[in-house]
Amino acid sequence: MNKPDTMCLAPWVHTYLSPQTERRMCCASREPAQNFRQYIDTESGTGRYIPVTLDEHWNSDHMRSVRRRMMAGETLPECEVCNDKLLNTSVYRDYFTNLFQHKFDSIVSSTTPEGRTSLQPVSWDYRFSNLCNFKCRMCGDMLSSSWETEQKQNNMVNWADPKNNWMRDDIRDQIKDFQDSQIETEFAAAVEQHRVEEVYWVGGEPLMYEQHWRYMKRIVELGDGPRVYARYNTNLSRVRYGGVDLFDDILAHIRDWQICASLDGTQQIGEYIRTGLDYEQWCRNFEHGLEYATNPRQMRIDFTLTLPGMFETGAMEKLSQTYGVQLLAKVIFSFSPDIIMSPLALPRHLLDPWIDELAGRSAGAMRDVLLQLKNRPTFEEQWPDTYQAGLAKGRARVLKLESIRTQSITMAEILAQRPAVLEWWNEIA
């Protein structure tokens, strides 16, 4: 058969696990929650913790249905992020196609009419915890232990919402037990059985995971480095752990690798958006990686466009040019009108002229992401009845965090560079 355009290879080769041990097709798929709703899930979970093993998930009713529908050429609602390019213009589906297209014939031959596959996953995105030393303002507690601690210390957790039950001490212990026993066993078995062909290290902050350093060293020790592709999304606050250097001791010994180093602005604005960022240290770590890179694709700057980041598009493009690397540009997820860090929170009459100005000075991925915003609904257009309440909630959250955190600049001071936008911000109530 010929591969349908809407078919993704991930359900045959890839397995994803969130820090709360929620399983999905991939990190970008929109599916109902199993236990605790994640930020892009389509339905709430029960709030009860009922963990699922990889064996139970891999050929579950849902995964078999996904494979059947994909092979039939259907456009799956679970794949909305790729179908509608909601995150960026280069979609995840194409990544899996490009990396695993040589497996297509075996994918077809291994799949029964019911959607069951005899293949085992060879691509892994296991997020062993939410351990992270940053509190990026567009992130949250599920993906950052620093966020989680801050929320608890400042009584900001809505304990009446079942989504937050994973933070309860008793359920926290259950999750950790499952991670330490089942999840470690699943991944260790894949490593020891030489079944890892691609691994995506992301968090939390993956370079803080002890598991990252242990398993990557083991892959090298087993002699599997020449057949493994390693991909990272990291805040790049560290590149060494326990005397081991990421580049010299690990990445120099594997087939190929890619570092997507997250940076959403430079200097003060960058440090405001990504609380915990030391911009100068980030630059030193990035330059260390460049010493080992053999092509521009291996070291990339991963930029998420936010409202304050609109002022940084030129600086980010200049930085990528200075380093001679590719800038990956995407826009912050916004599936509710309280995500006020999104440029789409702006009304159309303020957003479009600003985009035109920036796009006229931009190129490549940055320009594409900016122009795409003109074809996406603003919060006012998407949620006409609730967007004002959403904006008020979002602004209140920004101001609350500013009262808690130490920062050298505020949102209002950033927006003051564009008076009409600052006026809009100050009128939100």
Model pLDDT for residues 61-92, shown as the tens digit of each residue: 999 999 999 999 999 999 999 998 887 778 89
Tell me whether residue 167 is in a domain.
yes
- Predicted confidence at residue 335, as pLDDT, reads 86
In angstroms, what CA-CA distances link 271 with 187, 193, 411, 422? 34, 42, 12, 20
One-letter amino acid identity for 386? T
- Predicted confidence at residue 345, as pLDDT, reads 98
Tell me whether residue 404 is in a domain.
no
Tens-place pLDDT, residues 148-182: 999 999 999 999 999 999 999 999 999 999 999 99
Tell me whether residue 294 is in a domain.
no
Task: Tell me: cis bond preceding 314? Omega within 30 of 0 counts.
Answer: no
- Predicted confidence at residue 87, as pLDDT, reads 75
- Predicted confidence at residue 195, as pLDDT, reads 97
Tell me whether residue 224 is in a domain.
no
Tell me whether residue 32 is in a domain.
yes
| Contact present, 176 and 145 (Cβ < 8 Å) | no
Tens-place pLDDT, residues 204-258: 999 999 999 999 999 999 999 999 999 999 999 999 999 999 999 999 999 999 9
User: Phi and psi for 67 in degrees, rounded to 5?
Assistant: -65, -40
Tell me whether residue 8 is in a domain.
yes
- Predicted confidence at residue 40, as pLDDT, reads 83
Span 267-277, average pLDDT: 98
Tens-place pLDDT, residues 297-356: 999 999 999 999 999 999 999 999 999 999 999 999 898 999 999 999 999 999 999 999
C-beta neighbour count of 185 within 10 angstroms: 12
- Predicted confidence at residue 41, as pLDDT, reads 86
One-letter amino acid identity for 113? P
Span 257-275, average pLDDT: 98
Range of the domain at 61: 1-200
- Predicted confidence at residue 333, as pLDDT, reads 87
Tell me whether residue 124 is in a domain.
yes
Number of domains in the chain: 1
In angstroms, what CA-CA distances link 47 with 140, 150, 428? 18, 22, 33
Tell me whether residue 185 is in a domain.
yes
